[in-house]
Amino acid sequence: MTDRPLTLMAVHAHPDDEATGTGGVLARYAAEGIRTVLVTCTDGGCGDGPGGVKPGDPGHDPAAVASMRRQELEASCDVLKISDLEMLDYADSGMTGWPSNDAPGSFWQTPVEEGAARLAELMRHYRPDVVVTYDENGFYGHPDHIQAHRITMAALEMTELTPKVYWTTMPHSMMRRFGEIVREFHEDMPEPDPAEAAAMAEIGLPDDEIATWVDTTAFSGQKFDALAAHASQGENIVFLKMGKERFGELMGMETFVRVQDATGASLPENDLFAGLR
């Protein structure tokens, strides 16, 4: 036994990602006295600017957007009681197919070994007991999410320190419910074309293939407020349109794939720190 606190490290791509998939566990474990470390890989400069101005449109200033989103991220961290925020500050690569994917200095163009080496240094410093990031497809195919996955897994190989590693996921039942709610708030939304619908159906996992279900219902209000802190991106955050009560009903359970475990903790489990305390 040591005096070092149990530590959770979440590695995310952009400001606001921390709240969507892991806001509940970050808030829950902080309340339980666990050290929570958030690593945000990009500056979020491809997000919306003031008034909703889009990247590439007149008046969109990526540096100004990045500065604004840094402030929002810090506010979100305050809401979730995150112990430590680390920003790698790579340039946001934008969505798949955007010209920013190919921009020098973008996260997508950064050699995996370079990003992994920087993240490995943070892992050596914080010595996390649990690391959470995305799966190999970045959950839904975003280049920066995929890159965050790649550097995280490479950094874990470099350090060989972490007893438990998880990838975020979502059960298909929740994805279906989310789709119903999106259509409810966007009645004029056309039906997706078959290819798009098929791609959406591949996101997440069948319910019976998910073995780690963490109940964060008691912290769904914090999770909602953390998302709301990213006010400049509100147009893109559909969850905020639900209101807190319905948000809690849908988003109160966070689910993960356990990809590394040195504790022998049995599955299924309802605690990322099972076997560690």
Q: Which tens digit of pLDDT belongs to each residue from 41-90?
A: 999 999 999 888 998 889 899 999 999 999 999 999 999 999 999 999 99
What pLDDT digit, counting tens, does each position of 142-192 carry? 999 999 999 999 999 999 988 999 999 988 888 787 777 766 765 555 666
DSSP 3-state of 277: coil
- Kindly state the percentage of the chain with pLDDT values over 90: 66
Cα-Cα-Cα-Cα dihedral of 102, 107, 112, 117, to 10°? 150
Task: Sketch out the chain's domains with CATH numbers.
Answer: 7-171+207-260 (3.40.50.10320)
Angle between helices 17-31 and 220-228 (to 10 degrees): 140
pLDDT band at 1 (very low <50, low <70, confident <90, very high): very low
- Give dist(CA 33, CA 26) in Å, integer: 11
Mean pLDDT of the chain: 90
Radius of gyration of the chain (CA): 18
pLDDT band at 19 (very low <50, low <70, confident <90, very high): very high
User: Cα–chain-centroid distance for residue 106?
Assistant: 19
Q: Is the dihedral of CA 66, 71, 74, 75 positive or negative?
A: negative
